[in-house]
Amino acid sequence: MQVTSQAKTFAKVTANRQKHHIGQIIKTSLFGRIVDGKIIEVHPFGTVDIELSGGQCYRVSGISLSA
């Protein structure tokens, strides 16, 4: 249990440090096509909420914001 709790805490801290990416436009794959989306929220474990130009919002995981 201790390791899982530490991993969750580390993921939350990392996500909070990446909040400065909110508002940035990223290219990502969504339903098999590449789209441009504006980051509207950063969550733990490489998950972000993005908004497309048409106003649709999606939660996408597997995003690396480091680099």
Residue-wise pLDDT tens digits, 6-37: 888 888 888 888 888 899 999 999 999 999 99
The predicted pLDDT at position 64 comes to 85
Model confidence at 66, pLDDT cuts 50, 70, 90, reads: confident
Beta strands in 1-67 (DSSP E): 25-30, 33-43, 47-51, 57-61
Instruction: Evaluate if residue 1 carries a pLDDT over 80.
Output: no
Q: What share of the chain is helix, strand, coil (3-state, %, to 5)?
A: 30, 40, 30
pLDDT tops 60 at residue 58? yes
